[in-house]
Structure 1
Amino acid sequence: MSKRRIFFSKTGMGKYISHLDLLRCFARTIQRSGLPVVYSQGFNPHQKMTFALPLPVGVTSECETVDIVFEDTVSDAEIRQKLNQNLPVDLYVLAVETPVHAAAEITAAEYRMVFTTATEVTKRQIQEFFGQTEVWTVKKTKRKGEKKINILDYVHAWEVLIAEEGEFTLRVVLDAGGERNLKPEILAKAIENYFLPLRIEEKEMHRCKIFCNNKDGTREVFA
């Protein structure tokens, strides 16, 4: 038996699938496909399956991963083919590989954020938002319930890709993982509040990459 890392995209209506439903979806897909998955021992056996960085509902992605333990009788190509034959249309397996990094090594994630607005938001206005020293909000935590945080402390990088009448698009790199984590919708809400009374009519958020840190401090794509 061996652990395989499944890289997959989650697009379209797939963004409304919760993490728990996604786990169930993969479990049922594997059952339908007949792939030789390995089950845990005990009174309630379950497929050995771990998602590295669960995606918030409402966010699409091109870099999701799930680790699944299979018998060695099946190839990576066969796993990919059979999963794609049985997964819903908005979930698609991009690659199947041997894991390189542990999920605990994840430190950041890159997102593309698209805002549709009723009025123009200029590049200068966006720069003024990120140029602030403090943008405070209350963040929910598992251990302490809630805590007050400065959102900008969790932003590693940002870039304005488009700034025109009716739309602006950002690329941002945010803290992600077990130690520090900022969900993109928290940043999106802060941006929306900053530009009031300008009306933001729609927000689209897409995860592009997941990163680990090397020992020398450089950033590497999670693989």
Structure 2
Amino acid sequence: MIKLRVKFSKKGRTCFISHLDLLRTFERSLRRANIPIAFSQGFNPHPKISFGSVLPVGLESEAEYVDFVLSEEYDSLRFKEILNQFLPTGLSVVAVEQVTPDAPSLMEEINLAVYRLIIDFELPVSKSELISDLEKFLAQEKIIITKKTKKGEKEINIRPLIKHLKLVATEQSTEKEWILTLAVYMGSKGSVRLDQLLVELNKFLPKIEYAKFLRTGLYIEKNNEIYCPLNKQLVKE
């Protein structure tokens, strides 16, 4: 058996596919592509497919990760080419790498998510004003949100989960449209709901007319360094 680690994008209409349906889509595409996926043992065998993170429905991503265990040797480049022929439009394999069978799971390792946030304001906003507002937002010791649990509602401080929130200078930015980059921790440290974060951010910014998140990366932060899940190469912030 071999394990292939796959980076894929999820855009367009496929962003509305739930996590369970995404799993079924990959299962169906693997079967149609005649790729020898391995199955678990027991009374209810299931294909050995494990994702790195659950992407919220409605959110597009340029960088999701999934591990496939195959029952026999299979060339990584061929895997990418063949599987892409059977995936629906909007879902695309970007890169494939073989990893050792005992490699830690993606769910165990991935602990940092990066997003691009495009904001349209109702009125023009200067760069200096926006930077000042972001600094005030991040200067808070606590950013409290309410999370629903099985035992009821619970207040959580999400400020420690925000690694950075920065303004991106691009030619597309106007005084009404600005692009930000957001990095938040995830996994055992907790998680941040983007809609709740936007509500809190909006308390410090001028009135927002439109906002859209795009996940641009999932990473492994270890010993104050950031690595790519696919090749474990060091990533510059």
Normalized against structure 2, the TM-score is what?
Answer: 0.83
Q: CA deviation at 1:76?
A: 0.9
C-alpha displacement of 1:165:
2.7
CA contact (8 A) 1:58 1:205 kept: no
Task: Give the structure 2 partner of residue 30 of structure 1.
Answer: 30
Equivalent in the alignment of 1:159 = 166
2:156 is matched with: 149
Mapping for residues 88-127 of structure 1, pairs under 5 Å: 88-99=88-99, 102-103=105-106, 104-121=108-125, 122-123=129-130, 124-127=132-135
Inter-partner Cα distance in structure 1 for 2:46 and 2:112? 30
Residue in 1 that maps onto 2:181: 171
2:160 aligns to what SS in structure 1? helix
Q: SS at the partner of 1:47?
A: coil
Matched, 1:69 2:69: yes
- Alpha-carbon distance, 1:42 to partner: 2.0
1:129 deviates by 2.1
CA contact (8 A) 1:56 1:183 kept: no
Following superposition, the deviation at residue 101 of structure 1 comes to: 5.1
Question: 1:134: Cα distance to partner?
Answer: 2.6
Amino acid in structure 1 at the alignment position of 2:213: M
Ranges in structure 2 where 5+ consecutive residues have no aligned partner: 231-237
8 Å contact kept, 2:29–2:86 = yes
Deviations 1:46-78 (A, max 9, x none): 111101111111221111011111132421112
Contact 2:134 2:165 in 1 (8 A): no
Higher mean Cα deviation, 92-101 or 56-65?
Answer: 92-101
Asked if 1:138 corresponds to 2:146, the answer is yes
Worse overlay, 163-172 or 2-11 = 163-172
| Alignment-derived partner of residue 224 in structure 2 | 217
Q: Which runs of 5+ in 1 are unaligned?
A: none
Q: How many residues align?
A: 219
| TM-aligned CA distance change 1:145 to 1:106, over 3 Å | farther
Secondary structure of the structure 2 residue equivalent to 1:189: helix
CA distance in 2, matches of 1:202, 1:64: 25
Q: Would the aligned equivalents of 2:144 and 2:155 in 1 still touch at CA under 8 Å?
A: yes
Q: Deviations over 1:136-181 (max 9, x none)?
A: 111245x655421222221011211156432222111101123322
